[in-house]
Amino acid sequence: MDKQQQINDVAWKVCDTFRGVVDPSEYKNYILTFLFLKYLSDLWKDKQEEYLKKFKGDKNKVKRRMARERFVLPENSSFDYLYENRNADNIGERIDTALENIEEANKSKLEGVFRNINFNSEVNLGQTKDRNARLKHLLEDFSAKTLDLRPSKIGNADIIGNTYMYLISKFASDAGKKGGEFYTPDGVAMLLAKLVQPKKGNRICDPTCGSGSLLIRAAAEIGGQDYSLYGQESNEQKC
């Protein structure tokens, strides 16, 4: 089994924490948010190790260089920090605070992204005892060695993007929305991306972007980074 399939399988198994308790249209937000958090944390960890070697352990130089990274991960906001505190009575609140801090530190890229996701919700995740147990399981599941998403371990393959697309497809099927309410089937997205024939330097907009799968495929068709993507969605819960 290849690395991508291993990660897909573990990521889908993580959903067991919510099955039968939370509707798939709701729990997809929790799973995809954690997937992003885990990837950002692993990438940050990889970069720190790279710069520590480059600057021979000079932590001040490393700190300055890390502050100029594409995404900034504030203190006490990493997946590892939350995992270490998985038994805390207020773990839901800690996760929400970490996401708020990440959003604030990366405002130009992430403003408003996490505002509708509440890991301290009694409505979606149950009373304190049950909620804490579910969040602890979620953190433990995402700590699996197979979900080590550091580039030094998984290479340059777009595993995070592929796993995202895989999960969105499964969520759509689980929620009975395979017809396309928030997900364009992969085969259709690939065909449309080829028909549009996007080129380097293009500005690409999807006025009904849903989960953004079509935009992702259009970007993959171009390759490189010389393009701009824009999306619009009336139902922010789909994004």
b/e 222-237 (16+ beta carbons within 10 angstroms → b): beeeebebebebeeee
* Confidence grade of residue 72 (pLDDT, cut at 50, 70, 90): very high
Which tokens go with 64?
């300055």
C-alpha to C-alpha distance for 213 and 169, rounded to whole angstroms: 10
**pLDDT (average), residues 192-216:** 89
* pLDDT the model gives residue 178: 47
b/e 25-55 (16+ beta carbons within 10 angstroms → b): bbbbbbbbbbbbbbbbbbbbbbbbeebeeee
* 79 in Cβ contact with 37 (< 8 Å): yes
Class level of CATH domain 3-177: mainly alpha
Q: What is the mean pLDDT of the chain?
A: 87
Query: Comparing 149 with 25, which gets the higher pLDDT?
Result: 149
**pLDDT (average), residues 112-125:** 89
Q: What is the pTM of this model?
A: 0.80
CA 146 to chain centre: 16
Placement of tokens 């998984």 in the chain? 154
CB-based contacts of 100, cutoff 8 Å, min separation 6: 114
130: Cα within 13 Å, side-chain hemisphere: 11
C-alpha to C-alpha distance for 237 and 52, rounded to whole angstroms: 40
**Residue 76 burial (CB count, 10 A):** 13
Residue 191 pLDDT > 60, yes or no?
yes
Taking Cα atoms as reference points, which of 111, 113, 81 lies closest to residue 94?
81
* pLDDT the model gives residue 174: 66
Where along the chain do its domains lie? Answer: 3-177, 184-239
**pLDDT (average), residues 110-121:** 88
Could you list the beta-strand ranges (E) of the chain. Answer: 203-206, 228-231
